[in-house]
Amino acid sequence: MNSKLIYPRKHDKETVYLKNVVKDPAIEVGDYTIYNDYVNDPVDFEKNNVLYHYPVNKERLVIGRYCSIACGAKFIFTSANHTQRSLATYPFGIFFDEWDLPVERIADTWDNKGDIVIGNDVWIGYEAVIMQGVHIGDGAVIGTRAVVTKDVEPYSIVGGIPAKTIRSRFDQPVVQVLLSLKWWDWSDEKVKENLEAITTGNMRKLLEGSKFGF
């Protein structure tokens, strides 16, 4: 196990550990989170998938550990959306020189809804779109080509345009236990020791394993 690799699979240049290819300090990615892209170079995730993300807005993209992001998923930030406070849809503030506006007013062109925050162990499907200000809880699943405009509860499955909850992955008692265990914060060794329980859905065995050092 080596979370410092760029390509975690031999002979596979379509999948990267995302943390090791992003350079923008406003993008934070946890260990073992992967991005797969068979259309473009996945190393260019920051350029191709994080859109309208400009320093003037001071927004962050935060992605947790052990997330899986499919090809073409997009994260759309504030500057993509013209303000609804104006009587015009036209973004006059961008062209401040043309219209003799103070440069300090440029950020008024958009309605800033804040950071995009993705929890841990989140699966984001093919060409899904995550809009500005959205928070996605741990363990959630975002369906193919879903457009997520609102927060997503932990361990829920959402899909559609706009995305709506389809169902929860587990009963709420199980969800609460998983959120308490936070296995994604365990050491690599502890995750490896409990991998069979995690991957086979054996909650009883996982609880037994979690007693050691939890």
Q: Which residues belong to the active site?
A: 82
CA 173, 116, 39, 6 torsion-angle sign: negative
DSSP calls for 92-126: GGGGTTTTT--GGGGGGGB-----EEE-SS-EE-T
Handedness of CA 13, 15, 20, 24 (dihedral sign): positive
**Whether 110 contacts 78, CB under 8 Å:** yes
User: How many beta carbons lie within 10 A of that of residue 203, not counting itself?
Assistant: 16
DSSP states of 169-193 = SS-HHHHHHHHHH-GGGS-HHHHHH
| Residue whose entry in the numeric block shows the structure tokens 């369906």 | 143
